Structure 1
Amino acid sequence: MLYALLCNDKPGHLQVRLDTRAAHLDYLNGLGDRLKFAGPFLGDDSKPNGSLVVIDAADVAGAREIAANDPYAKAGLFASVDIRPWNWAIKNPDSK
């Protein structure tokens, strides 16, 4: 099942994001086919202020584990992480 991780950064934590970015990208790339897509949300100043990560996990507990092990989460970057089941209905490359 697919889950969308909607992550909102804590205000004033851009440097935490920048300092942890390489480890975060390595972690996401290490998820292999479980990672469907990901990228940052941008504020009005065009600077990142959150993340959208869509993953394939067996259940919400597995999605929570993936979210909790993200280096951004471990560094305390996020003010909140909302994990929601998601159906990729349009332009899903895996659908036939």
Structure 2
Amino acid sequence: MIYAILLMDKPGTADLRIQIRPEHRAYLAQISDRMAFAGPLTSEDGKTTLGSLIAIDFPSRADVDAWLKDEPYTKAGVYEKPIIHVFNNMWEQKAGFPPAS
């Protein structure tokens, strides 16, 4: 089941986010084969990070919670309380929307 996970940053954690980012990316890489999508949410300038939006296949909500508990940004205190919902993808991915580098 795919879970959409909305994770907004706590105010004042921009520097901490940058510091922890390598650990965060390594943690995501461990389950990249189960990710539908993942990336930062930004302000209109496209540069100021506000949080993250991730969609990952997990067997259950308990598995999401366990994974999120050990997620580096969560452990470091970057994120506020997550919003988690089951996501039903009803639209096929479009070509021409490659991941941003």
C-alpha deviations, 1:26-65, integer Å up to 9, x for none? 0001113222210000024431110001110011111111
Name whichever of 84-93 and 6-15 sits farther off.
84-93
**How much identity, in percent, do the aligned residues show?**
35
Counterparts of 1:78 and 1:87 in 2: how far apart (Å)? 24
**Partner residue, 1:28:** 28
Counterparts of 1:67 and 1:87 in 2: how far apart (Å)? 20
Is 2:73 aligned against 1:79? no
C-alpha deviations, 1:63-86, integer Å up to 9, x for none? 111222110001010112111110
Contact 1:10 1:79 in 2 (8 A): yes
Counterparts of 2:32 and 2:21 in 1: how far apart (Å)? 18
- Return the structure number with greater strand share: 1
Question: What residue identity is the alignment partner of 2:18?
Answer: L
**Partner residue, 1:42:** 42
Equivalent pairs counted in the alignment come to 93
**Structure 2 unmatched runs, 5+:** 95-101
TM-score (norm: length of structure 1): 0.89
Counterparts of 2:36 and 2:28 in 1: how far apart (Å)? 10
TM-score (norm: length of structure 2): 0.85
**Partner residue, 1:54:** 55
Q: CA RMSD in A?
A: 1.5
Question: What residue identity is the alignment partner of 1:47?
Answer: T
Question: What residue identity is the alignment partner of 2:79?
Answer: F
SS in structure 2 of the partner of residue 90 of structure 1: coil
Counterparts of 1:57 and 1:92 in 2: how far apart (Å)? 20
**Partner residue, 1:13:** 13
